[in-house]
Amino acid sequence: MSDREDLERAVKAWEAGVEKSTAKHPERKASFETGSGARVERLYTPLDAAEGGYAENIGLPGEYPYTRGVQSTMYRGRLWTMRQYAGFGTAEESNARYKYLLAQGQTGLSIAFDLPTQIGYDSDHPLAAGEVGKVGVAVDSLADMEVLFSGIPLDKVSTSMTINAPAAVLLAMYVAVAEKQGVSPKSLEGTIQNDILKEYVARGTYIFPPAPSMRLITDVFAYCASDVPNWNTISISGYHIREAGSTASQEVAFTLADGIAYVEAAVKAGLAVDDFGPRLSFFFNAHNDLFEEAAKFRAARRLWARVMRERFGAKNPKSLMLRFHTQTGGSTLTAQQSDNNVARVTLQALAAVLGGTQSLHTNSRDEALALPTEASVRIALRTQQVIAYESGAAETVDPLAGSYYVESLTDRIEAEAVAYMKRIDELGGAVKAIEEGYVQREIQDAAYAYQKQVESGERVVVGLNKFQAEEGRPTGLLRVDPSVGERQSAALAELRARRDASRVKAALRGVDAAARGSANLMPPILEAVRAYATLGEICDAMRAVFGEYRPSAIF
């Protein structure tokens, strides 16, 4: 009798014994599912490995298809970058928070901008009223950006900026600040999110229609390839797709489908895939299901490597490597018993580390209630540091490799993602699928199914629908000074009075002319920024040419 037959017989005997022993505990269901609805078997054995076909194919770290990590030594060579996403109020207040975080051991900056900044409005715009500085820092011009990074040498720090529709403008401001510090743009390191497609699907901070938005993105690709070569020109984001309610497999599929659309647009614009491919990066969510999340990252890495090599013919190994930042799941945090969020974030951060993330943000315990306090941010950062230095998770590369369960999950997520991506291709690509509402509907259906499970009690959320406790009114929360809007408006008035108005007008005409033609928009945007044209003025110059995006239907 073969070894396989012996194993099959042993597994059947084990299952029969388990049925008898678990009959005494009916509350522990015979069948479980991951947070995304994938069935979890009670036992995984080499039989699963043989069926999945991965036993011989998972490879080594740093080697194609990078299932086990994009670097051969991973955290034995260098820990992930520890970034705490931060920004609120004025540039002065946020600058103080950044310096505090750096002093506490943070190794990279991650900038949160307020909503008016994210949609290209100055702080004195009527639509900005009540939102200035609330969910991020207000940046109206180069003057604000200079204050934001005052005392922070840009050649010594890596900066990630979560900005999309006006990403080209904020990147230009960052480059201009570097120039004023005497730092060459060629030495700058960091990332702009610059991912507009997920805004149409999951987040909503868009300005322009898809076509000119894609042009802006490819213009940034081309500009950075020659002028800011160490900059990650896009962070293709699954984070917000997951926050909107997608499953893990949908997060992978829709994110990589967006990535394919960006690569296709850049190639169509005349760029060689290996000229911009190495600077593409990704941004994923981490939820509570430890093993599914780790498997998700491994599956995404393997799938993207195959897409870039087989679909786009990339030759440079760095073009094949899916490098990603992770943020723990904001939608998983509860206002009820908010200290429980510390445990949730720890599990999510560990999943990201076990999955091989390149950088990580850990949410703070009070973020379901308000922007985090310094004390909460410190705990969130210390969570990363404890994992890095005390848990042992960073001592070996891909410690979950070969786990029958994790490898089976990795295969399953990849297969489900491939099926979604095939459907998107059949619809004509990511842009078309978004325009037709396919992606939105799939996410909405998944979100609805999950919420029904929570409300019925089928899925337990500790402190929310089980193990509740009486709580008093929360205290000690961070409150943004409501006068920040007035202060920003006053600063804008003073800026407009002292700047060279004729230079600003000329620079804005240059933006208009480039938008109407086919020239790269980055040089005229940079000139407008140097002249202290405001974010709103620059975006308005492009609005006049490109128009504004308006959803045609609610899906």
Q: What is the largest CA-CA distance in the chain?
A: 90
Residue 322 belongs to domain spanning: 74-456
3-class DSSP state of 510: helix
Contact 242, 253 (CB under 8 A): no
State pTM to two decimals.
Answer: 0.90
Residue 117 CB neighbour total at 10 angstroms: 31
Residue 37's region, left for phi above 0, alpha for psi from -120 to 50, else beta, is left
pLDDT at 1: 46
pLDDT tens digits along 164-222: 999 999 999 999 999 999 999 999 999 999 999 999 999 999 999 999 999 999 999 99
H helices of 181-327, in order, are 197-198, 210-227, 239-243, 248-268, 273-276, 290-306, 317-320
Q: What whole-number distance in Å separates Cα of residue 200 and Cα of residue 454? A: 27
What per-residue confidence (pLDDT) applies to 25?
62
The string of DSSP codes covering 492-536 is HHHHHHHS-HHHHHHHHHHHHHHHHSSS-SHHHHHHHHHTT--HH
Check residue 479 and give its pLDDT. Answer: 86
The verdict on residue 495 lying in a domain is: no
CATH of the domain at 397: 3.20.20.240
Smallest Cα–Cα separation from 99: which of 511, 458, 377, 424?
A: 377
Does residue 215 sit within a domain? yes
108-164 pLDDT, tens digit each: 999 999 999 999 999 999 999 999 999 999 999 999 999 999 999 999 999 999 999
CA–CA distance, 273 with 282 (Å, rounded to integer)? 17
* DSSP structural state of residue 520: -
Contacts of 482 (CB under 8 A, 6+ apart): none
What is the per-residue pLDDT for 13? 84
Evaluate whether 387 touches 350 at the Cβ level (below 8 Å). yes
- Residue 325: strand, helix, or coil: strand
- Number of domains present in the structure of the chain: 1
Residue 21: the pLDDT is: 65
139 Ramachandran zone, left/alpha/beta (phi>0; psi -120 to 50): beta
Q: Establish if 520 belongs to a structural domain.
A: no
3-state secondary structure of 311: helix
Q: What is the pLDDT of residue 474?
A: 82
Is residue 45 domain-resident?
Answer: no
Residue 21 covered by a domain: no
Please state, in angstroms and rounded to a whole number, the distance separating the CA atoms of residues 439 and 224.
30
Q: Which pLDDT does position 55 carry in this prediction?
A: 46
Q: Quick one: which of 434, 385, 418, 387 has its CA closest to 549?
A: 434
Domain for residue 524, yes or no? no
For 455, other C-beta atoms within 10 Å of its C-beta total 10
Tokens of 158: 């890596």
Residue 219 lies in a domain: yes
- Ranges of residues in the chain whose predicted pLDDT is under 50: 1, 50, 52-55, 555
Q: What share of the chain is helix, strand, coil (3-state, %, to 5)?
A: 55, 10, 40
3 state SS of 466? strand
Q: Is residue 232 part of a domain?
A: yes
